[in-house]
Structure 1
Amino acid sequence: MYLAIALLLAALIGLRWVSRPSQVSWIVLAQAGRALGLEISAGGASEYRLRGTPMIVVRDLVVREPGAGRPLLRAQRVYLSLPWATIRAAGDSLDIERVELDAPQLDIAALNHWLATRPPSTEPITIPSLSRGARVIGGRLIGEGWSVENFGVDFAELGPEKPVRGRLKGHVLSDGVAIPFDVAATLQRASLARGVGMAGQVAVEARDWTLPMRVRLGALLYSGDDGLGLDRLRLGANARYRAGDTDLPFVYGVAGPLRYRDGKLSLAPMGAILRGDDTASGSAASNASAVNAPTPNNAAANTATTASLIPNLDAHGSFAFGQALQLHWQGTLATWPAGWPALPPPLGQSDSPLPFRLDYQGKADFSGPTALQLQRDQTRFDAGFRLPAVLQWLDVSEGSPLPPLNGRMSTPKIEISGATLEGVEIEIEDDPQEPTAPPAAR
């Protein structure tokens, strides 16, 4: 008798709770918060549905570590639908129907701080299944010195043993440089060490130049003590460099292990190739609607100078992008491009390949100091310059006959006008008032 009354009272209280969406969301969020060690709240009106496949909508979601000054996640709207079997399993099953996030904001530093507080686990990561996929619109990822704006994700289905096909888009912003992207992505399986491929449009947009690209990427997902990332990365692109009246198509490729940790993206060791591409004009023109490529006629007019301005080089080294951009390359120039300023003798008197070393550290728009070292036979040339100044000098038909750089050339012997000079050292100084000191080469 007392048991029956108690069950009836509990049922009445339960019915009252579920008759109020705010109470349902409060229960769900409180339970999730206790399980994850987080404070989870929702300030907007909530919705729920119990018939058929249960569904809940939470608005103005805020998630933070207890006592933290800033939340690790905000979202205007969160939609979740999941079958009764998952609810009854009380966390033992991660079979979900669909997830939607509207205008989420994820703070990477706050997220990493929370992850560091979680107890270690030797259990493999459990991948949920989403029978009707997921969608993210208007998202924002906030890093240290960078952000991804208007981030979007859309895929139709997710399962541990099924390929995942979807679309990613957004704008990366960092230090005056924007990187819009819109790519189709395929994941072989929703687990680590599985293949991932991407193809689509990416661009780098600085104040004075743009670099639209059609990229193709293949790699394996990776997670380890050195961060998250991609193993066996292979990336190739048809690209165009545009600055003022300059429009140069070229192709390039990079390879290596990509890592992200503590706000820093790195690719080391890396290999790279660069080729002037006469055929890239047609390839890029076919994608004109996506990357604003010039018409085939304009592209053809510029093609004649492409091969003479874009060097053919093979290099290896490292790349890092965090508070600043760091690039360290060494490799070989097959030939000195005919469209570049002529090398002084004896560098310009030989047809030998040119080993080089390039070091850059500065803003992502390459406006910082660059160090370049060239060697041909027994002659060596060390230079320091800023790329925007050199590009501007190349665009000007009249002006200084010497490029804006500081340099030093040394050679054991040089022949000029029938005279032979030995132990020659030549220094070039751009402007004594504003020296361009090259960074120390590595």
Structure 2
Amino acid sequence: MAATEPRKPRRRWRIALAIFAMVVIAVVLAIRHYTRTDRLTALIIGEARSALGADLTVGGTAHYDFWPTLHLVLAAPSLNAPNASAFIKADAIEVRVPWRILWADRYDIEQIDVIRPVLDLDALKQWLATRPASNASTPDIRFNLHLIDGNATSGGMTVAEGLDIAFTNSGDLAAWIDGVRAHPDSSALVPPLNGSADAKVLQIGTTRLEGVHLEVKDDVPPPASHE
């Protein structure tokens, strides 16, 4: 009886799988090396402090997720003025960044997603009131911000539930914050934003509103004069 030849196709598949596994491991190690979370985390914390005068803290080690886009995940973040209560807490912040950060030194932020935030309106008001007056130019903060499934509280009670807010600022947000602090009774109480906001429930005094949708367009030109 003639001897059977080795099954070459099976051997080739094993070699191919081994090579594929080695490539995957090399790619994972390269991504881990080039996407150091500490650098981007420090950048975000520094921007919050320098631009807003607020302290951003996170409750765990940051990490990258790669689906559906590359983004840095900051667990259990909170934002507060120094020595004051946090005016916003969340389950997580996801900072979307372009894939080119894998090989470039520049860190660009495309969008910030805040997952299940809780906004304390009283603490926010206190933070705005205590921002120091300054004649120095403030940094021009530009961002795309998305709050997902958020709540808002005031006086220890929930005043908004199921908030889904997607905003892009159309002007200098830091300058607007300084303006509100300096002139709290001015008419410019709406920040320079474009986008939309949805809420499952809004409680305004004794009035309960459900299924609220709001569109904000700050760049609409004023009506033409008919002189």
Q: Normalising by the residue count of structure 2, what TM-score does the alignment of the two structures yield?
A: 0.53
Structure 1 residue identity aligned to 2:201: H
Question: Alpha carbons of 1:115 and 1:188: their partners in 2 closer, same or farther (altered >3 Å)?
Answer: closer
Distance 1:37 1:124 in 2: 11
Work out which of the residue numbers 47, 50, 72 in structure 1 matches 2:63: 47
Deviation at 1:19, TM superposition (A): 6.1
Partner-residue secondary structure (3-state), 1:119: coil
Question: Alpha carbons of 1:170 and 1:25: their partners in 2 closer, same or farther (altered >3 Å)?
Answer: farther
Work out which of the residue numbers 128, 150, 154 in structure 1 matches 2:142: 128
Tell me the matched-pair count: 162
Corresponding position of 2:219: 189
Distance 2:48 2:146 in 1: 23
Question: Alpha carbons of 1:158 and 1:116: their partners in 2 closer, same or farther (altered >3 Å)?
Answer: closer
Structure 1 residue identity aligned to 2:95: L
Question: Alpha carbons of 1:159 and 1:81: their partners in 2 closer, same or farther (altered >3 Å)?
Answer: farther
Matched, 1:150 2:162: yes
Work out which of the residue numbers 55, 76, 84 in structure 1 matches 2:91: 76
- 1:188-236: CA deviations, max 9, x gaps? 518xxx67xxxxxxxxxxxxxxxxxxxxxxxxxxxxxxxxxxxxxxxxx
Question: Alpha carbons of 1:172 and 1:125: their partners in 2 closer, same or farther (altered >3 Å)?
Answer: farther
Higher helix content, 1 or 2: 2
Matched, 1:62 2:92: no
Distance 2:41 2:216 in 1: 37
Structure 2 residue identity aligned to 1:128: R
Corresponding position of 1:27: 42
Deviation at 1:174, TM superposition (A): 5.2
| Higher RCO (C-alpha under 8 Å, 6+ residues apart) | 2
Question: Alpha carbons of 1:111 and 1:165: their partners in 2 closer, same or farther (altered >3 Å)?
Answer: closer
Partner-residue secondary structure (3-state), 1:72: strand
Distance 2:75 2:217 in 1: 30
Q: Is the 8 A contact 1:146 1:174 kept in 2?
A: no
Work out which of the residue numbers 171, 193, 199 in structure 1 matches 2:201: 171
Unaligned ranges ≥5, structure 1: 1-14, 90-94, 196-442
Partner-residue secondary structure (3-state), 2:90: strand
Corresponding position of 2:3: none
Q: Is the 8 A contact 2:121 2:152 kept in 1?
A: yes
Corresponding position of 1:37: 53
Q: Is the 8 A contact 1:64 1:72 kept in 2?
A: yes
Matched, 1:99 2:98: no
Deviation at 1:72, TM superposition (A): 1.1
Q: Is the 8 A contact 1:25 1:58 kept in 2?
A: no
Distance 1:178 1:73 in 2: 23
CA RMSD in angstroms, aligned pairs only: 4.0
Structure 1 residue identity aligned to 2:198: L
- 1:388-436: CA deviations, max 9, x gaps? xxxxxxxxxxxxxxxxxxxxxxxxxxxxxxxxxxxxxxxxxxxxxxxxx
* Structure-to-structure mapping, 1:41-440, within 5 angstroms: 41-48=57-64, 55-68=71-84, 70-82=85-97, 88=106, 96-121=109-134, 126=140, 128=142, 130=144, 134-144=145-155, 147-154=159-166, 164-173=194-203, 177-189=207-219
Q: Is the 8 A contact 2:111 2:143 kept in 1?
A: no
Question: Alpha carbons of 1:41 and 1:124: their partners in 2 closer, same or farther (altered >3 Å)?
Answer: closer
Deviation at 1:141, TM superposition (A): 1.7
Q: Report percent identity of matched pairs.
A: 22
Q: Is the 8 A contact 2:65 2:73 kept in 1?
A: no
Question: Which moved further from structure 2: 104-113 or 180-189?
Answer: 180-189
Distance 2:39 2:55 in 1: 17
Q: Is the 8 A contact 1:127 1:159 kept in 2?
A: no
